[in-house]
Amino acid sequence: MPQKPLRVELLSHTPDPLSLIYASFRQCYHAGFVADMWPKLLAGEIEREKQAQFVSSVLESGHDSPVEHVSFTFAVEGISRACSHQIVRHRIASYSQQSQRYVTDTMDYVIPPAIEKIPEAKARFEKFMEDVSEAYGDLRDILVEHGRESKANEDARFVLPQAAETKIVITMNCRSLLHFFNLRCCTRAQWEVRKVADAMLRECRKALPAIFDAAGARCEQLGYCPESERFACGRYPTRAELLNKA
């Protein structure tokens, strides 16, 4: 029952993502049919730098719906059930998560850094994980003995904790990802989901810098914190503070 480290892998994304977004934006402002432009884009007749500049300029106007045509798919492991519950609250996305009904060989777990750095807290946490794992195994065996058999796992899993490690495949379009990064890269986000978001953002920046180089916590784009003074972390002045100075 070991502690499981975080791993985030980009499995796939829409082919030619920059050109597809460029073509989608152009259709909004272009009298012709972008399908006629598409072969030229794929052949490199319109420079990628020119495409990126056009896309960036339109995004600055606030028009961002065409980026929904491109999606990214990630495989994530080494996160807790507590973390996955936060991620799946982002509803414009698709998820495929490891089942606790069918995967029963081990119970890996995630330990919060604040607990891990305190020896007595870490020892107590690990002891509890051992106890839970033992209780889970005992309950499963008892249920099998009483005829529950293949259904034993689905009842025994009720004792598994929020710390139990899970694996999940996530697909989001670019617009959903930008919103996800706005919220989850913020220093006020819970440490584990922020760690996942930061790792996903690094992969997105490699694959599609024109869209994601400026992505991240909302304050980094605005230059001020959109939260009230009560919730601001102090990295940036709040909007109210800026207005008071003006």
Residues with a known catalytic role: 184
What SS3 string covers 180-218?
HHHHHCCCCCCHHHHHHHHHHHHHHHHHCHHHHCCCCCH
- 3-state SS, residue 246: coil
Residue in the structure block whose two tokens are 């006629």: 36
CB 130 within 8 A of CB 159: no
Instruction: Tell me which H or E stretch contains 78.
Output: strand 71-80
Alpha-carbon distances of 48 from 15, 20, 166, 216, rounded to whole Å = 14, 11, 39, 23
DSSP state of 92: S
**5: buried, middle or exposed (CB in 10 Å: 19+, 13-18, 0-12)?**
exposed
Rounded to 10 deg, the angle between the 17-29 and 48-60 helix axes is: 60
Question: Which amino acid is present at 215?
Answer: A
